[in-house]
Structure 1
Amino acid sequence: MKSKYVILASAMLISVATFAQKDQIKAAEKALKGGNSQEALTILQGAESLSATAPDAEKAQFFFVKGNALLDLANKNVETGKNLSLAAKAYQDLIATEKVSGKMKYSTQAATSITEIKYKLINSAIADSKADKNSDGAMKLYDAYLLDKKDTINLYYAASTYINAKDYDMAYKLYDELKTLNYSGKGTSYLAVNKLTGEEDFYATAQERDKFVKLGTHEKPRTEVIPSKKGEIYKNMALILVQNGKTEQAKKAISDARIADPADTSLILTEANLYLETKDFDTYKKLIAEVLEKNPNDADLIFNLGVLSANAKNPVEAEKYYAKVIEINPKYINAYINSAALKLENEKVIIDEMNKLGTSTKDMKRYDELKIKRQNLFKSAIPALQKAVELDPKNLDVAKTLLNVYSALEMTAEYKALKAKM
């Protein structure tokens, strides 16, 4: 008889606990409806320990109210990143609970909220990056990826943002995850200019884009091929390994990548860049020759060779590659920009020497020589800068550079004409 009493007493305790949790959840809901999400969370903390023994329906309701309270705090800009992630976790726990019970009361709403949180995390991460808070932004992008692992581009952006934050260990970890997933990022973008904003809008399909063009809200449709990001991923992984003194491991990683995907020429460029970094110029030149043999008229590829050569402090070779790009594709704007930048880089050397000169006859003569040399340097950059401005009038950085050149050469008419267009 005594043992039966104990069992009965235990059952009564569980029942009392269940009622207590119900009351706390109701009180939390009331506080949330009253706009006091922090109070709602405080109330729910008292019910947290009881949720383990609660029925599935009450567990789901508990997680739902908790998720809503955390999301409300995030929407009020209270510890946005932290509360968005905690809200997503609560909704995920809710969905898992209802999946086990088979009763889907809150799951649809929770799934919608998770999608909302994903995009809020992405937008918040973009704002963080603009404010130079790259660590916070990278963490939010990774959390966005964890919410929707099919959207692997967020994992890629998270890794890239960790690079900007100089957190190379985390960047390597995420790049390694991308490598395991065999992520390439290769695809196609469908764009059209929004007549209202003047900006290009992105569409997932050509059909979706063309629909808006036919409606008349958009114009100038174009399709852009997104190249593989494998080369960049392996390059950054290799550079991190080199930085950590693991050069041979880096070389093996690139070599293995090339064996796995021999058609991806970006990986050859990555390997070439690695040998350039380690000052193995013979292997570097051999790999560059291999790239050109495979794709002698690939403008993107040759442009990248120009960038590699410029980074290797070989301006003559870099200029040769940029000229070849322009020959293949006269509208390749970045080739004009880089070609001009290559020429203008020499200005600093001239200015430094000019500043060191004195007032002797010899120094004054040298000063005049350097002044002419500087003017000739500016003149040599004008055609490339003018073409770049012609191709992209909205590129203010290029336009300002050209303005500075006109100003330095006292080309007043040209300066005023360009200024009027800005």
Structure 2
Amino acid sequence: MSMFLITCSSSFAQKNELKELEKLVKRNNTTETAALLSTVEKMLPQATDDQKAAYYFFKTKNLINLANSGVDFNENRSKAIESINHLIKFENETKSKKYTTEVTALKNTLLAELVDEAIDSNRNKDYKKSSRLFEQAYNLNATDTVYLYYAASDAVNAKDFDYAESKFKDLIKLKYNGESQTYVATSQTTGKVESFGFDRKARDLAVKSGTHTKAETIFSKSAKPDIYNNLTHILLNKQNYSEAENYALTAYNLDKDNVNSLLNVLFLYYNTNRLDRFEEHAKKGIERFPQNEILLYNLAIINMQNNQNEQAKEYLSKILLLNKNHFDALKSLGNIELQKDADITNKINALPNTTTSNKKRNDLMQEKRLVYTTTLDYYKKAQAINPKDESLNELITQIQDFLKNN
């Protein structure tokens, strides 16, 4: 009998405290609400499912109130997301739907706030902030995997590569591909194409009602190549070639028409000294992308690093045929030409100081002047495109001084 009375007394107390919690939450009294939540939490083992759900609901509301009042904003909003998810899971498991409607409304409101704030941060180029906000949006609604993709992509923009790496790997584990269909139609009022997002029924109803015409479906490409390419690029920069290789080859096989996939494979093979495979893929790349300036320039640079200047010049010359105002190609051609100066200078310095050596010295000085004149021609063209390159301007001044005095 006494045990029954204790249980009833505890249940009665919980009901009173839950009523008091409801009043405190409505008054936005976050301090007293937090204190009373701690008291109620100790009684949860004896509480009914509906009472437990009430506790989780008021806890969620208080965390949102704390965040909105500016108290530990990010921490309390993250806790609110966890609490919302916990309550939804709890009500699904216990078949208790007492707070489902209200918590769903809270979830949708918070999700909209997170996404709007993330978009604003992205527009303001605060990419680190937007990446974290998109992650919170994903944590709140894990079915919207696209938010995790946005979080990873914005982390790359923020150069927050460790964070981006972990999110891209999560996307791969989730087998995310990003393919989607967006439903659009033309407004009869404005004449503009309007998007109905993923809601085909809404689009079809608008067309049927006569407010819209020309129903269309826009298909987005798979995001898989982008995910694998970004992950490859991050790992290559960390010189983690063994892990990068699988991602690089996967990206390349997924989309051979993506020049970034090819470039990652080329850098991988070059930096791991597998030059036979490098040459094989470089040849395929030139056949597939004969007019891609980025590919041609990167191949030129790799050849320059390998002291294969004639091959590098061939690539750089192809770039200038496509784009005569390519600054880096012009500067690189000047750099290649200027490299000849060291050999000529060594030959001059090796000559004995005799009358019979004067003719040879004059011939070599003439070669030196020709090298400087040719180099200057490339540099001046590059300077006209980008007059603010300080190292280039300094080289031009030095060459002009030499030619003036010699």
Normalising to structure 2: TM-score of the pair? 0.63
Deviation of 1:68 after TM superposition, in Å, equals: 2.1
Tell me the residue number matched to 2:117: 124
Q: CA offsets, 1:187-229, max 9 Å, x none?
A: 4555689999999854326965687799999999987653332
Task: Please tell me whether the aligned partners of residues 235 and 244 of structure 2 are also in contact (alpha carbons under 8 angstroms).
Answer: yes
After superposition, the Cα gap between the structure-2 partners of 1:154 and 1:30, relative to the gap in structure 1 and judged at 3 Å, is same
Q: What's 1:273 paired with? A: 264
Q: Summarize the Cα distance change of 1:316–1:71 in structure 2 as closer, same or farther, 3 Å threshold.
A: farther
Partner in structure 1 of residue 48 of structure 2 = 55
Judge conservation of contact 2:60–2:84 (CA < 8 Å) in 1.
yes
Uncovered stretches (5+) of structure 1, i.e. residues with no partner: 1-7, 324-341, 367-422
CA contact (8 A) 2:183 2:215 kept: yes
Please name the residue that 1:247 is paired with. 241
Distance 1:235-1:86 versus aligned 2 partners, 3 A rule: same
> Are 2:30 and 1:44 aligned?
no
Look up the match of 2:74: 81
Q: Which residue of 2 aligns with 1:383?
A: none
Which of 141, 144, 151 matches 2:144?
A: 151
CA distance in 2, matches of 1:282, 1:306: 23
SS of the residue aligned with 1:265?
coil
Q: Given that residues 191 and 222 in structure 1 are in contact (C-alpha distance below 8 angstroms), is that contact kept between their aligned partners in structure 2? A: yes
Structure 2 matches for 1:311-326, cutoff 5 A? 316-318=317-319
Where 1:227 maps in the other structure, the secondary structure is coil
Separation in structure 1 between the aligned mates of residue 184 and residue 385 of structure 2, nearest angstrom: 35
Out of 353, 372, 379, the residue aligned to residue 393 of structure 2 is 353
Match of 1:235 among 225, 229, 240: 229
Q: Matches of 1:347 and 1:210 in 2, distance apart? A: 56
Q: Does residue 299 of structure 2 align to residue 306 of structure 1?
A: no
Relative to structure 1, the CA distance from residue 247 to residue 210 in structure 2 (aligned partners, 3 Å threshold; closer, same or farther) is same
Alpha-carbon shift at residue 57 of structure 1 (Å): 0.8
Identity across matched positions, percent? 27
- CA distance in 1 between counterparts of 2:71 and 2:65 reads 9
Runs of 5+ unmatched residues, structure 2: 302-314, 325-381
| 1:137-186 Cα shifts (integer Å, max 9, x gaps) | 32332232233232221111111223234332332222112122332223
Alignment of 1:183 with 2:176, yes or no, is yes
Q: Displacement of 1:39 after TM fit?
A: 3.6
| 1:371-405 Cα deviation digits (max 9, x unpaired) | xxxxxxxxxxxxxxxxxxxxxxxxxxxxxxxxxxx
Give yes or no for contact 1:28–1:41 (8 Å, CA) kept in 2.
no
**Residues of 2 paired with 1:274 and 1:34: CA distance?**
61
Alignment-mate amino acid for residue 54 of structure 1 = A
How many Å separate the matches in 2 of 1:85 and 1:355? 55
- Give the partner amino acid of 2:101: T
Within-5 A mapping of 1:87-166: 87-130=80-123, 133-166=126-159
Question: Aligned-pair distance for 1:29?
Answer: 1.2
CA distance in 2: counterparts of 1:318 and 1:223, whole angstroms = 39
Q: CA deviation at 1:110?
A: 1.5
- 1:39–1:127 distance in 2 versus 1, CA, 3 Å: farther
Distance in 1 separating the partners of 2:144 and 2:290: 31
Aligned residue type for 2:294: V
How far apart, CA to CA, are the structure 2 residues paired with 1:355 and 1:343? 11
Moved more, 214-223 or 80-89: 214-223
Q: How many pairs were matched up?
A: 329
Instruction: Give the Cα–Cα distance (whole angstroms) in 1 for the partners of residues 124 and 113 of structure 2.
Output: 16
Report the Cα offset of residue 246 of structure 1.
Answer: 1.6
The equivalent residue for 1:19 is 12
State the Cα deviation string for residues 17-40 of structure 1 (Å, max 9, x = none). 433333222222112222334542
Cα distance between partner residues in 1 of 2:187 and 2:16: 52
* Mapping for residues 246-395 of structure 1, pairs under 5 Å: 246-256=240-250, 262=253, 264-265=255-256, 269-276=260-267, 278=270, 283-284=277-278, 286-290=280-284, 305-310=292-297, 316-318=317-319, 346-349=386-389, 352-353=392-393, 357=397
CA–CA separation in structure 1 for the residues paired with 2:78 and 2:67: 9
Task: Using the TM superposition, give the Cα deviation of residue 250 of structure 1 relative to its aligned residue in structure 2, in angstroms.
Answer: 1.1
**What residue in structure 2 maps to residue 3 of structure 1?**
none
- For residues 250-279 of structure 1, give each alpha carbon's deviation from its aligned partner in whole angstroms, at most 9, with x where no partner exists: 123323555xxx453257742432423645
Residue 54 (structure 1) shift: 1.1
Could you say if the C-alpha distance between residues 147 and 349 of structure 1 is closer, same or farther in structure 2, counting changes exceeding 3 Å?
A: closer
* Alpha-carbon distance in structure 1 between the residues aligned to 2:388 and 2:248: 36
Asked whether 1:72 is paired with 2:65, we answer: yes
Q: Measured at CA, do residues 60 and 206 of structure 1 come closer, stay the same or move farther in structure 2, by a change above 3 Å?
A: closer
